[in-house]
Amino acid sequence: MELSTASDVLTVHGGTALSGEVRVRGAKNLVPKAMVAALLGHGTSVLHNVPQISDVRIVTGLLEAHGVSVTRGAPGADGEPSDTLILDPASVEQASDTAVEAHAGTSRIPVLFCGPLLHRLGRAFIPDLGGCKIGDRPIDFHLDALRAFGAVVEKRPEGLLISAPERLRGTQIRLPYPSVGATEQVLLTAVLAEGVTELSNAATEPEIVDLIAVLQKMGAIISVHNGRVIRIIGVDQLGGFTHRAIPDRLETASWACAALATGGDIRVIGAAQGEMMTFLNVFRRIGGDFEVDDTPGEPSIRFWHSGGQMRALALETDVYPGLSTDWQQPLVVALTQAHGLSIIHETVYEQRLGFTDALNRMGAQIQLYRECLGGSACRFGQRNFMHSAVISGPTKLHGAELTIPDLRAGFSYLIAALAAQGTSTVHGISLIRRGYEDFEAKLSALGADVELGLGA
Ligand code: EPZ
């Protein structure tokens, strides 16, 4: 195992019920895409509620490499850094491929630069993509869509070169699966394409709807119809936007699962009920409780363990409005404390249950299966993917040495370590910084006994 640097390790002394307040800001799965959208505009854009996470820093670097000026608003009176970004695309220019490559392997966002760069510069270079190792994660839907608009895709040893010999034309696209990324690709390309684009079997996640709101503010014409159909009438020019990003429903659910698994009580400031209905139902069915406060400007949701026995459940992840796959891993940790047999059927990613090995080393009892358990047959059934799990609980967890494989598994390991007796050493916490702002300070504020580095 590669030796981690002190700043990449967190020592967690478990056994404390977390309680208090944390703040969540804009959605990690919307903010970087809104930043990319600014490239499409002939005018300055202002984005509010931007979290300090490394995915934002990666996109800032890529935008600056393409000549976009990205600045943060003035710090607050308390010296708090502003959560506002000002994006000015006045002098967009071709970035050198090396400058783009510098960001290779760090995230999947670079693929979404295609549409805006093709419209602005007629050329886009996409380095090898990164992102969480939770499945094969191909981009075939993205490339097929770009070709349908008239783009030319050339595979190069160092990445993909995409060019638009002429203005891109509106077209008909049916996605084989309601992919979030491919839907965003089509939106960010169709808005300035000539004519009408009809996208069917589209993703409709709240982050997609919020991106549509951003594009509409820029001057785009986009309508969402029943049955996952989105129609876009291309326009000749777009302006800038001023937008407040929707709150991060994925981070919110992670803190809720931390309250449940540690027997605690956490108020998540900035959280909104609207995008979390499915999660809130599951949270209550397991044995948690919550209270929504819709105070305008300062909404919040308080999550707590109701004190009774937690109940085992059969859960199946799905595209929105189903149970988000990004809620699955924190819920699995909470379900190790539920009484009875829980079943998880992961239908969005074929390799998102591998993280349970480490939980079993902590004392959990989780068995993985290739079959589609507890729900309808999915794309991964009959294939060689361990994409279902049976969790028998409750089991006492104890501390362990943990290495983080991906973002959500990372935060789930923190929850398990906090719910466990004894001390855990968690390696690779920089992965968590990709999507959770300031989480170490938030954990300490909730009473967690954690310290950076390998501890005393
Ligand atoms: C987005 O990823 C999110 N990431 C993911 O969140 C989230 O899990 C996912 O949507 C599903 O909701 C960001 O927004 C940055 P997809 P994305 O395209 O766009 C297959 C987190 O933890 N597919 O909807 O990459 C793919 O392999 C992250 O916050 C193709 O086969 O997801 C997967 O099985 C993890 N070909 C399924 O579709 C394609 O061209 C869903 O992927 C594209 C996708």
pLDDT tens for the 456 residues of the chain, in order: 455 677 899 999 999 999 999 999 999 999 999 999 999 999 999 999 999 999 999 999 999 999 999 999 998 888 888 999 999 999 999 998 888 888 766 788 999 999 999 999 999 998 887 777 788 889 999 999 999 999 999 998 888 999 998 999 999 999 999 999 999 999 999 999 999 999 999 999 999 999 999 999 999 999 999 999 999 999 999 999 999 999 999 999 999 999 999 999 999 999 999 999 999 999 999 999 999 999 888 999 999 999 999 999 999 999 999 999 999 999 999 999 999 999 999 999 999 999 999 999 999 999 999 999 988 899 999 788 999 999 999 999 999 999 999 999 999 999 999 999 999 999 999 999 999 999 999 999 999 999 998 765
Mutate-to-test residue for ligand 1 from 179, 204, 251, highest number of ligand atoms within 8 A of CB: 179
Among all residues, which ones are annotated catalytic?
132
Q: How far is the CA of 179 from the centre of ligand 1 (A)?
A: 6
* 3-state SS, residue 289: strand
Crossing angle of helices 140-148/114-121, nearest 10°?
30
Ligand 1: nearest atom to the Cα of 180: 24
pTM given for the model: 0.97
Residues having CB closer than 6 A to ligand 1 are 28-29, 108, 132, 135-142, 177, 179-182, 203, 205, 250, 325-326, 348-349, 407-408, 435
Are 150 and 169 contacting, i.e. CB atoms less than 8 angstroms apart?
yes
Give the residue, by CA position, lying nearest to ligand 1 atom 11: 180
Exposure string of 261-274, with b = 16+ CB inside 10 Å and e = fewer, is bbbbbbbbbbbbbe
Nearest-angstrom CA–CA distance, 112 and 389 = 33
Expressed in angstroms and rounded, the spacing between residue 138 Cα and the centre of ligand 1 is: 9
